[in-house]
Structure 1
Amino acid sequence: MPDQNTTSRIVKGSGAQALTFGVRLAEQFLLVPIFLAAWSTELYGEWLILTAVPIYLSLSDMGFVTAGSNELARRSEGRVNDAVRNFYRAYVSIFLQWSLVIFACVLGVVAILPLSDAFNLNLISNGEAAQVFLILVASALLSQNGLTLIAGMRATGSFHVAISMRAVFGLVKLAVVAFVLLALGGRPSEVAIATFVVQLLEPLVLGVLLSRRGLAPGWNLLRKPQPEMWHLLGLGLGFMLMPVAQAVVLQGMVLLMGSVLGATAAAIYATHRTLTRTTAQITQLGVSPLRAELGLQQAEQKREQVRALLIRATALTFWASLTVAACLMVVGKPLYETWTHGEIAFHALLFGLLLGATLLEGLWRMAATFRLGSNRHGPLARGYMAISIVGVGMAWLLVEQTGLWGAGLSVMLIDAAMLAIVVSLNRGVLNLRVRDFLLGTLRFPARDIVILLRRVGKRVTG
């Protein structure tokens, strides 16, 4: 059974993720009607197309951040010493340098590529498209550098504090964007500037919190890469396939809809995907804290504890996701129509397929937490990349014949294939049989729900 400190850290992390979940729900349910109240459906669709690449950059850290976070957790084991500080300062400095190189490369591409023509935009000019694109790329890179600071908070046992701060800044960003759109009637460029300003504040605050915990970032643009950083880069290249594959599925599908069916179809697909991914946000309540904790539980003698944690956490998040999915099946259409002010048509079959895909995704992401938290990600990442490419290719073939629902079917098949791969791979590293995992997940976690409610009750009354 997990010890009390381990359980406490996971519960705190899940609580912080619950706050983040609430913020993401607010963004999903408020930003779409806010944008549609200020802009036309076509302009909003062009915004979604234009922001697809910057959103990908916000998901991708070249894998280095994740690999470095796992290594930092392994070295620190909750304790900070001079060796940990030196490693951490090298880690954050190198990633900042790489971020500047990435931005310089993007700047060069934008200087020679007319984005409005490339993305077939009609309402956003080439000049404004370039401005929006560069500002959002800068915001995405700032967000990724914020993840290196979250890695530091994880190493000091304060993962839940960092996640809570990220949620707070998410709320601030939502409020600022709403003000710019509704009060000022802002154009895409003005929304992008507002987003950048808020994003800039997050790493500054996290840097102060880390300094108070004895792990100051110590950014240094002139620091030379240490030999151990090249090893992490190798691990990171493997990790990089995970966000790249996710971007192929998420942003790639939006671009596919826009190029094959037009900007309005891209808006239809993106809004359906956003609403159905509410269940995926539920999964993150368990994935992030469990992954952070399992990165500290890599010793061979802890395998039994890891298996128990994995099955119990997966069961809790699966049943929570299933409950939300069932509710969305009942209220999905009226909720969607109210949410979009009736400006975007509801597609029932697409909605159902995407909802099924998010349930499958939640299962395989929970099952993958140990591999991803302990740098055993290679075969998983390669499999996800291959399946994502095949799935989007299948969607491209289907969409012209079937319309929007062909994309939804493709996404669902991608996540079903990933679940089969992850469960199979866990047999080797955790000696976790497929039958044990599936039965443990499908068994209703009544006992764990009671324990969780008691802990929450004690924190509220205490």
Structure 2
Amino acid sequence: MERILRGIGANALGQVVTIVTQLLSVPLFLAAWGPERYGTWLMVIAVPVYLGLADLGFTGVAVNRINMSIAAGNQRAAVVCYQSTLVLLLSIGAVLGGMAMLAGAAFGDAIEGWTGLAGGAAVLAMLMIAIYVVGYMFALLSHGVFYSVGRYAEAIMWLNLFRLLEFVALAAGVLLFDGGFLLLLTLLAIVRVLLVVVTYVRMVRLAAWARAGVSAFSRAELREMLLPALALNAFPIGNALNMQGMVLCAGFVFGPAFVAYFSAMRTLSRIPYQLGQLISQSLSPEIGRLYGQRNARALRALFRHALSASVGLAGACGVFLYIAGEWICQLWTHGKIAPIHPDYSWLLAAAVVNSLWHTASVMVTSTNNHARLSLVYLAANAAGLLIAVAGGKLLGQAAVSFGVLATELLILLALLPLIHGFARHGLAGVLAKP
């Protein structure tokens, strides 16, 4: 319980960082750049999310395998998994960096027309994006080691502190140096490299076996990880469709100015979702340990309490934001952006619906038993994006918000049997299989 509480505290810090940085980013960029350029920047920083799929899901699977291997007393298996994934990420990083620079050179005219970055600046910008993306992969791999020694909270703390540092760097770049896109992307890459260095130094102090090396590299280990990795990859693809995909849809269909409005409303409406994450994400390491013990009773109790707390927090916050939304936006954006219904109502409803199924999803993703869920998640997010695009003629700009809500409802409907099984038995569906 102490580890869970520390994890909730670390995630609370993370949500504070997310809320503060997102709330401050909107007025900061709107004042400095205006809606048009700010909307373009939002579209630019959507690119790293898609490039982050280049690890094919191996990093997330490795985190779970390392955690469960140490819990089972098998340090050798953890070393093999860690070093095999490390070699894979080094290879991916080299390829991604090269391809990014080639893309910057090949599509220089298009990038210049979109962002104003010309010639070598476009190449450097793409390289900075690649460094930023690969840095996160290395930082995430270290989480498996932190989790395995009971330091989940510390891993999350480092990640969130550097997210805050990223925001400070961006704010300085805009306010102090009047920087353009290349400067801001370079600052993001530098901060991400610092994160990798700091987490590595701390990680090897906690677990000496986790030093970088290649002697334990195993192709057989990577082959064994392949199927769950590909399945796990469906989640970032789904997230990209839901988050960045909706932003790009809003921008290309309704224009960059609408992107600024939609992003602001979604930022505000996702606060209930982020509160639910405080609880569910903190359970991931504990779920892995209990699953290894096949402790169905403890898993059932954990699931019930987490579900109740997540829904309660999200619901109460959603009601408050519905009532106070216009007042908050008046203070937040100085009257430049105000909630429009039903757009805002649908976004709030989507955040509350998410709290109903997300805890069940953590039960399977924490144990690498996520193959079926991955298909549901990917299909629902693709369907939601299609609804947003196709609904433009019927619903106008509100179609984007309706697509967000439709995504959450589709996932909830598909997961109802799994949710019922966890509530009754603890080990349900695929988790009940040996």
**Is 1:96 aligned to residue 90 of structure 2?**
yes
Could you give the per-residue CA deviations for residues 319-345 of structure 1, whole angstroms, max 9, x where no partner exists?
Answer: 111222122112212222332233345
- Stretch deviating more after TM superposition (237-246 or 226-235): 226-235
Equivalent residues in 2 for 1:44-443, closer than 5 Å: 44-58=38-52, 61-77=55-71, 81-114=75-108, 116=110, 121=114, 124-127=116-119, 128=121, 130-215=123-208, 217-220=210-213, 225-299=218-292, 301-426=294-419, 432=425
Gaps of 5+ in 2: 427-434
Identity, % of aligned positions: 25
**How many residues in Structure 1 have an aligned counterpart in Structure 2?**
425
Considering only aligned residues, what root-mean-square deviation do their CA atoms show, in Å?
A: 2.4
Give 1:292 deviation, angstroms. 2.1
Deviations 1:89-122 (A, max 9, x none): 223332232233233333333332247469x73x
Residue 265 and residue 80 in structure 1: after superposition, are their counterparts in 2 closer, same or farther (change >3 A)? same
Cα separation, 1, equivalents of 2:294 and 2:270: 37
TM-score (norm 2): 0.91
Quote how far apart the aligned CAs of 1:231 are. Answer: 1.3
- SS of aligned partner of 2:197: helix
Alignment deviations for residues 354-413 of structure 1 (CA, whole Å, 9 cap, x no partner): 111111112211121111111110111011111211221121111233222111112111
Of 76-85 and 21-30, the range deviating more from structure 2: 76-85
SS at structure 1 position matched to 2:325: helix
Structure 1, unaligned runs of 5 or more: 1-6, 434-462
Q: CA deviation at 1:227?
A: 0.5
AA aligned to 1:408 is S
How many Å apart are 1:206 and its aligned residue?
0.8
Over 3 Å counting, the alpha-carbon distance change for 1:78 and 1:390 in structure 2 is same
User: Does structure 1 conserve the Cα–Cα contact (< 8 Å) formed by 2:303 and 2:423?
Assistant: no
CA contact (8 A) 1:23 1:170 kept: yes
Q: Matched residues in 2 for 1:360 and 1:318: separation?
A: 8
Q: Please say if residues 85 and 215 of structure 1, whose CA atoms lie closer than 8 Å, have aligned partners that are also in contact.
A: no
TM superposition shift of 1:83: 4.4
Closer, same or farther: CA 91–277 of 1 in aligned 2, 3 Å: same
SS at match of 1:39: helix
Runs of 4+ in 1 over 6 A off after TM superposition: none
TM-score calculated relative to the size of structure 1: 0.85
Which residue pairs with 1:9 in the alignment? 3
